[in-house]
Amino acid sequence: MPIPKNIFQTFKTGDLPWITRFYISRMRKKNPGWNYHFYDDKRILGFFEEEFPPRYLKAYKSLTIGAAKADFFRYAVLYRYGGVYLDIDSYVKTPFDKFLQEDDDFIITHEGNPGLYCQWGLISAKDHPFLKRTLEKVVDNIETHRYPNDVHRTTGPTVYTEAINEVLEEKPDTPHRLLGTDFNGHLKFKYKLGRIFLYGKKSEHWKKKQMSQDIIKPSGE
């Protein structure tokens, strides 16, 4: 199944700094046949309300850190619609149509960290079993409050990698294509100054926040 020509990005607000708007504009110019979709926090709530069972919205609203919410959203939006997800501070070097193949269903690419797959960028057809399993595991992690101070394990690359490996162990012929490390340079993890303009002080970054606060609201709040 071809990858739908959708590009998804998210941030808490649509009030983006000039450097981010520049990279978005450049990405859209590189990919003129693709539809661009931006979701702020309010639009994401509406998406979950309309597209998923209530427990998914409840789980999403239980997260207290924006990065974890963005993780959850990326799996959900690509599972529902298919396309490309890219972190708001990442960027595109190669037009998608130049490195994607007509028979691609899912692109797996390694992180620089051994044993993990990248999810700052995702490329998938809709309804893919890798994302279905990832969503199931994320919701379970949240509902069981399994990792109260660990975004990576709750919603991030760790749970995403575990989900893919589980599915491949059960069904090795699950359609996918392996694309080296970090998309072989076609997509880039961060552009210069993006983190400073978007997140400000280092104390506001999720890696700092998770050390001092529970990333999941207690049940009932």
Question: Do 51 and 75 contact (CB within 8 A), yes or no?
Answer: no
pLDDT at 120 over 90: yes
pLDDT at 29 over 70: yes
pLDDT at 220 over 50: no
Task: Tell me the pLDDT band of 161, cut-offs 50, 70 and 90.
Answer: very high
- Six-digit token pair at 146? 């399994």
Element at 212 (helix H, strand E): helix 206-212
Task: Tell me the pLDDT band of 167, cut-offs 50, 70 and 90.
Answer: very high
Give how far Cα 187 sits from Cα of 12, 23, 65, 68, Å.
Answer: 23, 12, 25, 21
User: How many Å is the Cα radius of gyration of the chain?
Assistant: 17
Return the pLDDT at 210.
59
* Average predicted confidence (pLDDT) for the chain: 92
Task: Tell me the pLDDT band of 112, cut-offs 50, 70 and 90.
Answer: confident
**How do residues 80-100 score in pLDDT, each as one tens digit?**
999 999 999 999 999 999 999
**How do residues 122-150 score in pLDDT, each as one tens digit?**
999 999 999 999 999 999 999 999 998 89
163-185 exposure pattern, b = at least 16 Cβ within 10 A, e = fewer: bbebbeeeeeeeebeebeebbee
3-state secondary structure of 200: coil
**How do residues 33-61 score in pLDDT, each as one tens digit?**
999 999 999 999 999 999 999 999 999 99
- Six-digit token pair at 110? 């390694």
Please give the domain boundaries of the chain with CATH numbers for all domains. 6-212 (3.90.550.20)
Return the pLDDT at 209.
74
